[in-house]
Structure 1
Amino acid sequence: MVGTNTQTIAKSNDWTVYPSPGFYNSDCVLLRPEESIKADALAVEAGISSVQLMETAGKSVATVVAQAVSAPSDLAGPVCVLCGPGNNGGDGFVAARYLEDWGFPVKLYLVGKVSDLSGDAHYMAERFEGTVNQATPDCVKGASIILDALFGAGLSRPVSGIYADLIEAVNHEEDALTIAIDLPSGLDGATGQALGSCVKADVTVTFFTRKPGHVLLPGRFLSGGSDHIHVMDIGIPTKTLTDIQAKTGENIPLAWQHLYPITSPFAHKYNKGHVLVLGGREPTLGASRLTSMAALRSGAGLVSLACPSESYSVQATALTDIMVRRFDSNFGFLGFLDDPRLNVVTIGPGAGVGEKTNELVLGVLKRDIPCVLDADGLLSFVGRSKKLKRKSKGDLKLVLTPHEGEFTRLFPEYPLSEGRLMAARSAAADMGAVVVLKGADTIIAHPDGRAYINSNAPTWLSVAGTGDVLAGMIAGLMAQGMPAFEASSAAVYFHSESAMTAGKGMIASDLLPIIARVLP
């Protein structure tokens, strides 16, 4: 039995929305730069002064710096603090003040003059009792630690002039530990893309929540990597997330575990779901086998592989745990759907690109049966993706799982050059389907605008057949009653965990026995 988690379902934008604790938890939510600014404003409205927020932020940065070294006397060179004209620079002044008080050799450099600063940044600059030097590209030479306080979340255009020169100088100082405040200067916090020159930080200290740019590539690596991004509590109330209504989160179990299928002691194979996989033809027979086994390993009660007569004997011999069914026409395949126990169909891996696959997909969708569409199933709709568009206002019934090449061919109107997150969201809203845009930072997008960004995929996951495994995992979780968006998110996460457990040199089939080891 599944679905022992009971949730109140609310309607938003005509789509069924399952409340997710993740979008109201600072450990999961990713605030876009403008949302982060709003969080600060809401904290001030709640009675926390902006000066106190900056003071706490700067002190937390200084704390991270202090924790990075055994003692100030161990440093061969100074802590070089580079301050820009905004609040990020104000954080830098606070951090410099604390570091000086704690005995660190600090040299602070400002672009511009203190008299040009305004608001809280000017106030903190006035409180700094050390020397304020004019920033030049040579100022970072010989530094042991470089504190990047040039720009924060507000940057929206490519850096130029002295700022670009400073960033290049920082990146050339390879022996220094570079710590960025909030975001590496030059990084777009919404897209994870570099805006021209960008600081390559070893460590990033941000506040309240991460931003999409900390998780999306290349921003994740420019920020120092997931394990080197410190999120500091500076006093912003968590309840501000409810007011902001953020729709971007990091894909971690906290986001969807409340809807993960729970198996009752009285469960049996018929109430754990039945997945039907379309089998292919030579030379890609293994793709559909990977999908079928992954669905079964993910908890589906029954999995059937439907294949044409020409490959039936091969598939039936290779598979002992999967029911293999023969068909020789689209009519025959669609006839399998008359079985009321069958509740998810997966089409694509090894299916072949062409009109026949196109007709099969449309036949399944016409019957309103949940469907995971991958690989050849997607490419069969290049130039006619609008045929996949769903209008249902009930539970989502379609999941599309393209990699970047497939996405570009299927949705040329949503260029990835403008940002993977925006492109995936746009395609999901247009299609009325969950879109899983695969990659090192896989994005799972819902038509209502919600999206999770995955960050636990190892580099060695990118080998042939792993996408077929993922399609089966999504189908297996959906078959057990997990909603399409959350099932896709959970499958992406555990797919990556399986690869991490398998280790370097893994092949797609190595994932299959590991799936059960990483599932809760």
Structure 2
Amino acid sequence: MTELLTQAQMRAIEQAAIESGQVTGLELMERAGAGVVEGVFEEWPELSEGAHRAVVLCGPGNNGGDGFVVARLLADLGWTVEVFLYGDPEMLPSDAKTNCERWREVGQVSDMRNMNAAFETMDLFVDGGFGTGLRRALPTEFQDVFQWQVQQLADRMFSRNVAIDVPSGICSDSGKQIGPVSLVADLIVTFHRAKVGVYMSLPFTPDVVRVKPIGLDEDLPAEVAEEQLVRLVDVAEIDRPNVKKHRFQHKFDHGHALILSGGAGRTGAARLAARGALRIGAGLVTLGVPPAAQMEVASQVTALMLTRVSDAHALNAVLEDQRINALCIGPGLGLHEQAAALLDVILDEGHLSFTRRVVFDADSLTLIARDATRLEALNENAILTPHGGEFARLFPDIAASLQAIPDQGPAYSKVDATRHAAARCGAVVVFKGHDTVIAHPDGRCSVHAAAYGREAPWLATAGAGDVLAGFITGLLARGLEPMAAAGTAAWLHIECARRFGPGLIAEDLPEMLPRVLRDVGV
């Protein structure tokens, strides 16, 4: 399992290791500095040979201590290194001060205010300023210097900026900029585990994050609660149905999904969701269609089944079939009274049960937001899939906290917001975006980010969210529990888009699934 850590969790892990005698702070700092140099050479192999010139910024804490180690190791390789310090060297923490003194045996330490001219001819900029410990905006007297550096780097299109743990000025828990200034990074090198914030919406998202081991135990200390960890969804984490177990079973053993459609001229979204549910492995998928749209849908579908759902009474009748174990409501549904009546059937008649899970997407989320009793009717068998606007309608106060500009850290994060929303409504919440966060009411949380080699900007196309809702619904039909279904669907959704590439439209996503599933061993 790949965990992402907050600054408090990382500090607890390091402190537990030091107190146990497993390692000293100086040893951790030395390993961190070596990891940064290794990461730099991995990212820019042309720097691993010959003499080059580096500028290293060191801050007033242990992040600065890591910077002094990097400077010394580069100098040992024959580099010309200039080191600039923010703060008083006599006020550095003990381990950072020791490494400052070690560097002074090799080279000079200059005041950060004098570093502007150093940018002219450097081959590498190392940001060891503030790292994970940032709790307030950068000091006013140095904001002009930082702003100048950012502009210099941008104007020169300089592309060898490495940040130790996180760019200075960025909250490592949320990815938010604290105050008016932060530095840029092309590469982040962090230690033991990646930090939560680097998978959120950084103001200046780096190209690469490299995680380097520094000799800490894999087992978590008692101070770090397992249930409070944030998991990163990647290929190793996606749930794969046991194909051999199901080899000789009937289609109903792979689940039956019902997806409700809007009226005439509004059926495309539900059809996209239904296609996604079928492709991802649901044994049967039925579209519930109002009479006026029946011919429109019938002329468009083949492998999908169709049933007439004229009103709430008709939906109740359809749901008497207990083989229907997954529902999806919302894509193209509309916001009229009849749509609200269908939603209330699912909420009021107790159809959210252990054997029947429901994905609430698109229009159904707006309808839920209009009536607090609907939100109260949800439970952990429900999955809400809001984008930013829908999230704000459902949880306006939480959204306001998330959108507030932070002046201190740790800043309120998308992880915090999604966890609080899930706890409030009692359902699994999939807060969509290129930094999708998935949270369970019990506090479990995972992140799926389309970043660091997994970007798919062409996924911003009409209907892509409907397909994601269908993927989740199909996996629920197959028997995955809601958190696993949401995380697996999010990963596959991005992977399908990446495999197709530019020019993608929503219809292409389900058709890419067979190749993707085959490649990941499903």
1:400 aligns with 2:400: no
Quote the sequence identity (%): 36
Give distance in 2, aligned partners of 1:346 and 1:452. Answer: 22
Deviations 1:234-288 (A, max 9, x none): 0111102675124212111333437777752212201000001111113221111
Which of 147, 151, 160 is matched with 2:126 structurally?
A: 147
Structure 1 residues 262 and 399 mapped into 2: Cα distance closer, same or farther (>3 Å)? farther
- Output the aligned Cα RMSD: 2.0
- Match in the other structure for 1:359: 341
Whether the 8 Å CA contact 2:430–2:439 is kept in 1: the answer is yes
Which of 441, 449, 452 is matched with 1:455 structurally?
A: 449
Give distance in 2, aligned partners of 1:242 and 1:210. Answer: 20
Whether the 8 Å CA contact 1:83–1:108 is kept in 2: the answer is yes
Q: For this pair of structures, how many residues does the alignment match?
A: 486
Which of 222, 228, 233 is matched with 2:213 structurally?
A: 233
Whether the 8 Å CA contact 1:83–1:149 is kept in 2: the answer is yes
Give distance in 1, aligned partners of 2:423 and 2:265. Answer: 35
- Match in the other structure for 2:187: 203
- Greater shift, 42-51 or 342-351, is seen at 42-51
1:267 aligns with 2:249: yes
Give distance in 1, aligned partners of 2:245 and 2:261. Answer: 29
Structure 1 residues 297 and 114 mapped into 2: Cα distance closer, same or farther (>3 Å)? same
Which of 121, 126, 140 is matched with 1:161 structurally?
A: 140
Deviations 1:491-514 (A, max 9, x none): 011011111111111110011211
Deviations 1:70-103 (A, max 9, x none): 3578566x20111111000000111111111111
Deviations 1:437-479 (A, max 9, x none): 1111111111112221112351111111011111111010001
Q: Which runs of 4+ in 1 moved over 4 A?
A: 71-76, 258-263
Structure 1 residue 360 displacement after superposition: 1.8
- Greater shift, 448-457 or 332-341, is seen at 448-457
Give distance in 2, aligned partners of 1:261 and 1:39. Answer: 39
Structure 1 residue 403 displacement after superposition: 0.8
Give distance in 1, aligned partners of 2:169 and 2:199. Answer: 16
Structure 1 residues 464 and 45 mapped into 2: Cα distance closer, same or farther (>3 Å)? same
Structure 1 residues 61 and 437 mapped into 2: Cα distance closer, same or farther (>3 Å)? same
- Match in the other structure for 2:84: 109
Which of 324, 346, 350 is matched with 2:306 structurally?
A: 324
Equivalent position SS for 1:204: strand
Equivalent position SS for 2:292: helix
Which of 364, 374, 388 is matched with 1:387 structurally?
A: 374
Where do residues 78-227 of structure 1 align in structure 2 (5 Å cutoff)? Answer: 78-128=53-103, 129=105, 130-136=107-113, 137-142=115-120, 143-171=122-150, 172-173=152-153, 174=156, 175=158, 177-195=160-178, 196-218=180-202, 221-222=204-205, 224-225=206-207
Whether the 8 Å CA contact 1:291–1:468 is kept in 2: the answer is yes
Give distance in 2, aligned partners of 1:71 and 1:208. Answer: 24
Equivalent position SS for 1:343: strand
Whether the 8 Å CA contact 2:34–2:73 is kept in 1: the answer is yes
Which of 423, 427, 433 is matched with 2:421 structurally?
A: 427
Structure 1 residue 367 displacement after superposition: 2.4
Structure 1 residues 66 and 343 mapped into 2: Cα distance closer, same or farther (>3 Å)? closer
Give distance in 2, aligned partners of 1:476 and 1:353. Answer: 25
- Greater shift, 450-459 or 497-506, is seen at 450-459
Where do residues 474-493 of structure 1 align in structure 2 (5 Å cutoff)? Answer: 474-493=472-491
Which of 292, 295, 311 is matched with 2:274 structurally?
A: 292
- Match in the other structure for 1:372: 359
- Match in the other structure for 2:27: 52
Gaps of 5+ in 1: 1-21, 23-27
Structure 1 residues 139 and 277 mapped into 2: Cα distance closer, same or farther (>3 Å)? same
1:64 aligns with 2:42: no
Where do residues 234-253 of structure 1 align in structure 2 (5 Å cutoff)? Answer: 234-240=214-220, 244=224, 245=226, 246-253=228-235
- Greater shift, 175-184 or 403-412, is seen at 175-184
Structure 1 residues 69 and 397 mapped into 2: Cα distance closer, same or farther (>3 Å)? closer
Equivalent position SS for 1:454: strand
Structure 1 residue 139 displacement after superposition: 4.6
- Greater shift, 255-264 or 309-318, is seen at 255-264
- Greater shift, 454-463 or 155-164, is seen at 155-164
**1:498 aligned partner, one-letter code:** C
Give distance in 2, aligned partners of 1:453 and 1:97. Answer: 36
Equivalent position SS for 1:334: helix
Deviations 1:342-392 (A, max 9, x none): 101110011111333233223223222311010111111223244233575
**2:387 aligned partner, one-letter code:** H
Whether the 8 Å CA contact 1:304–1:322 is kept in 2: the answer is yes
Give distance in 2, aligned partners of 1:166 and 1:33. Answer: 26
- Match in the other structure for 1:467: 465
Give distance in 2, aligned partners of 1:410 and 1:148. Answer: 40
Structure 1 residue 160 displacement after superposition: 2.8
Structure 1 residues 292 and 391 mapped into 2: Cα distance closer, same or farther (>3 Å)? closer
Whether the 8 Å CA contact 1:362–1:388 is kept in 2: the answer is no
Structure 1 residues 135 and 343 mapped into 2: Cα distance closer, same or farther (>3 Å)? same
Structure 1 residues 390 and 166 mapped into 2: Cα distance closer, same or farther (>3 Å)? farther
Superposition TM-score, scaled by structure 1 size: 0.89
Whether the 8 Å CA contact 1:349–1:376 is kept in 2: the answer is yes
Give distance in 2, aligned partners of 1:71 and 1:459. Answer: 31
Structure 1 residues 87 and 139 mapped into 2: Cα distance closer, same or farther (>3 Å)? farther
